[in-house]
Amino acid sequence: MEIEIKFRVSEDIKERLESLNAKFVGLEVQEDVYFDVPLPKLLRVRRISNLGKSYITYKEIMDRNNEEFYEVEFEVSDFNLAIEVFKRLGFDVKASIKKERLIYKLGDVTFELNKIPGLGNFLDIEVISDDPEEAKRKIWEVAEKLGLKKKDVEPRLYIELVNELSSRSS
Amino acid sequence: MEIEIKFRVSEDIKERLESLNAKFVGLEVQEDVYFDVPLPKLLRVRRISNLGKSYITYKEIMDRNNEEFYEVEFEVSDFNLAIEVFKRLGFDVKASIKKERLIYKLGDVTFELNKIPGLGNFLDIEVISDDPEEAKRKIWEVAEKLGLKKKDVEPRLYIELVNELSSRSS
């Protein structure tokens, strides 16, 4: 299971991550297309344009705080054809999200620092584990070292944030 | 568009194909999983086990004889995960079909000689074209050279043949 807590952060989180000795793993320029499936299910086709890779990802949210996910993901050879198949099967596109992601690792903790135009900067701290409580303890241990607090947690999904943004601006 | 006519054939069709100078392209050991989507739509995940490749294929049947198909296909990195995603999205498996396919080419005509346990041997003669009538003319021209006649045409889909077989034997 994927355990992940999302924090609203400021740009200087990068220096704090590096002073924690988290190892920079890579940059991903991501384009996510989410389809309209009923929550707690999530269906996404992602293109990582700077790496030339695309993925189909299916998730089921397992908890009320959007922190525990069952995830199935596999690579696909063509972003647009994958989107076309889901559309032709009757799934509507719910939202498209573009983000720039810096990825860091520290032991088995993964940090995804996302810059999303119009929404701001977010740090997803993630651990893959069958023990959600132990995983969250680990996540909070490093989060506190980064100076992050409960009030910085953003419980909403990216897709919810993007949809709120577009309904506010329309 | 994919234009394809399926014929019931006997084993000796292979020699006739070779005497036509059709070029042998390759052998594929295929495992197809079809999902229960309403006709004229078809949704399939295919593993070509001897090549270590898997594909998601979506088709729409465009005519009454199952000869004209709109097709979208892309490669996926994991056969089982692709099946899992469709199952979790609510699609039931309708049928699984295993076949051994010999592929031949002659110009822009593709011959797929399929041996399906329990069902027999079938030759799919295929042309990719935006002109179905011209494509069918081309297909019948080579079909006649192979000694194939109207009565040899099998208009049913493989998925229909397999489902008839399993309902007869149950």
Q: Do A74 and B82 touch (CB under 8 A)?
A: yes
Q: What is the distance between the alpha carbons of residues A122 and A101, in angstroms, rounded to a whole number?
A: 9
Distance in Å, alpha carbon of B68 to nearest chain A alpha carbon: 17
Name which of B74, B84, B89 is nearest A76 (Cβ-Cβ): B74
Predicted local confidence at residue A170, as pLDDT: 62
Among A34, A62, A89, most B C-beta atoms within 10 A, so best to mutate, is A89
Query: Tokens at residue A9, please?
Result: 């952060």
With beta carbons under 8 A apart, name residues in chain B contacting A75. 76-78
Distance in Å, alpha carbon of A85 to nearest chain B alpha carbon: 6
Distance in Å, alpha carbon of B56 to nearest chain A alpha carbon: 9
Please indicate if any CB of chain A lies within 8 Å of the CB of B72.
Answer: yes
- pLDDT tens digits, B105-146: 999 999 999 999 999 999 999 999 999 999 999 999 999 999
Q: How far is CA A134 from CA A108, A128, A131, A140, in A?
A: 12, 11, 6, 10
Please indicate if any CB of chain A lies within 8 Å of the CB of B82.
Answer: yes
With beta carbons under 8 A apart, name residues in chain B contacting A73. 81
- pLDDT tens digits, B49-101: 999 999 999 999 999 999 999 999 999 999 999 999 999 999 999 999 999 99
Question: How many domains are there within chain B?
Answer: 1
Largest CA distance in chain A: 48
Which CATH number is B139's domain given? 2.40.320.10
Alpha-carbon torsion, ordered A54, A58, A62, A68, to 10 deg: -10
- pLDDT tens digits, B143-163: 999 999 999 999 999 999 998
Write out the H or E segment, with its range, that includes residue A145.
Answer: helix A132-145
Alpha-carbon torsion, ordered B17, B137, B74, A51, to 10 deg: 100
With beta carbons under 8 A apart, name residues in chain A contacting B41. 88-89
Contacts of A9 by beta carbon, 8 Å cutoff, 6+ apart: A113, A121, A122, A123, A148, A152
Please indicate if any CB of chain A lies within 8 Å of the CB of B56.
Answer: yes
Query: Tokens at residue A164, please?
Result: 């709120």
Q: Do A74 and B74 touch (CB under 8 A)?
A: no
Q: Do B75 and A74 touch (CB under 8 A)?
A: no
With beta carbons under 8 A apart, name residues in chain B contacting A37. 89
**pLDDT tens, residue order, chain A (170 aa):** 999 999 999 989 999 999 999 999 999 999 999 999 999 999 999 999 999 999 999 999 999 999 999 999 999 999 999 999 999 999 999 999 999 999 999 999 999 999 999 999 999 999 999 999 999 999 999 999 999 999 999 999 999 999 888 887 76
Using CA coordinates, name the residue in chain B closest to A38.
Answer: B89
Q: Is the ipTM of this complex over 0.90?
A: yes
Q: Which domain holds residue A127?
A: 2-169
Q: Do A41 and B76 touch (CB under 8 A)?
A: no
Predicted local confidence at residue B170, as pLDDT: 62
Q: Do A43 and B89 touch (CB under 8 A)?
A: yes
Name which of B72, B75, B88 is nearest A85 (Cβ-Cβ): B72
Q: Do A77 and B76 touch (CB under 8 A)?
A: yes
Predicted local confidence at residue B133, as pLDDT: 96
